[in-house]
Chains A and B, each alone.
Chain A
Amino acid sequence: MRSLLIVGGLAAALVTGTAAWAAGPRDDILAALAAQAKAEQPAFTGFDAARGKTFFQSAHSGGKPDTPSCTTCHGMDPRQPGQTRAGKSIEPMAVSQQPTRFTDQEKIDKWFERNCSSVLGRACTAVEKGDFITYLSQQ
């Protein structure tokens, strides 16, 4: 009985360990964005999921006419798949549905660069990026 408990405890520790490892890259990415945000805006106090949701769902101006919003391709409900303008399905953005989201720095940089340019006609700020990832991590 006792050894069973130990084994159970060990397994739990291993599982926790794995989970922490899996969340690692995203936490590191958010930490780096937070440092950047602080540099951009001294009043910055932390990322905000509600602000991220508004940013995700709003229609913006300044970008290309066919892509007014992140939801143009990713859809209003981030737990559902989205669709590109050429009709290809996009995996859900919600981390609960797609745990590998926001864990690959190169991929994140590439798509923020493109999509912020298409939707906003400019680069996204560190605050916008961090809010966006924070919102979708909780979805």
Chain B
Amino acid sequence: MSFFRSFTFASLLMAGTGLLFPAASFAGDHHGSRGDDDDRVPPVTDPLTRQECGACHMPFPAALMPAASWQAVMGDLSNHFGEDASLPPAKVTAITDYLTRNAGRGSLSTGAPLTRISEQGWWVREHRNEVSPRQWEQVGSKANCKACHKGAEQGDFER
């Protein structure tokens, strides 16, 4: 059942033409009558990705960005959002493979891929009116998902 739900989530990520648009799945009833894990995002299961991409922040679920975005992130690890996060080529290949195989569907039709989850259209919409500037300041970083979503590492982004 939970696999089925994960699968449902993944297919929602595919919705929308060309754009990653999981917000549709969160729009109305996520605090309503459906079960707790309706909106669960499959967490990272690959041990190498968990370890290497979980050292400085939680390992972000592959389904939250399209493959082109993961490729862009993995292609420039020595300039990783202001840090050097480089890895040996064999590990880069293995992690890229895992992330792209489990990525959300959809790609941007124009321009370079967005390399942040927090830049994806659905993410921006989902957070726009929900978090005050003071709260952002307190958590320090948009990438600090766990500060607000306690179950984030288990794939639970409800609060």
Name A residues whose Cβ lies closer than 8 Å to a Cβ of B.
Answer: 64-67, 84-88, 110, 113-115, 117-118
Contact = CB atoms under 8 A, between A and B. Distances in A.
Interface residues of B, number: 17
Among all A-B residue pairs, the 4 with the closest Cβ atoms: A87-B144, A86-B57, A117-B84, A66-B82
Interface stretch (B8-16, B28-36, B135-143): B135-143
11 contacts: A64-B83, A66-B82, A67-B83, A84-B56, A85-B82, A86-B56, A87-B144, A115-B84, A117-B86, A118-B82, A118-B83
Secondary structure dominating the interface of B: loop
B82 A86 contact: no
Nearest to A67: B83
Given A85-B141, A110-B87, A114-B86, 17 more contacts: A64-B83, A67-B82, A84-B57, A85-B82, A85-B140, A86-B57, A87-B140, A87-B141, A87-B143, A87-B144, A88-B58, A88-B144, A88-B146, A113-B84, A114-B83, A118-B83, A118-B84
B85 interface: yes
B56 to A, nearest CB: 4
B83 A66 contact: yes
Contacts of B85: 114
Interface of B: 56-58, 78, 82-87, 139-141, 143-144, 146-147
Main secondary structure of the interface of A (DSSP, over half): loop
Contact of B57 (A88, A110, A114, A118): A88
Contacts of A88: 56-58, 144, 146
A110 to B, nearest CB: 8
B86 A113 contact: yes
B152 to A, nearest CB: 12
A67 B85 CA distance: 13
A111 B86 CA distance: 9
A63 B82 CA distance: 10
Contacts of A87: 57, 139-141, 143-144, 146-147
Contacts of B84: 64, 113-115, 117-118
Contacts of A110: 87
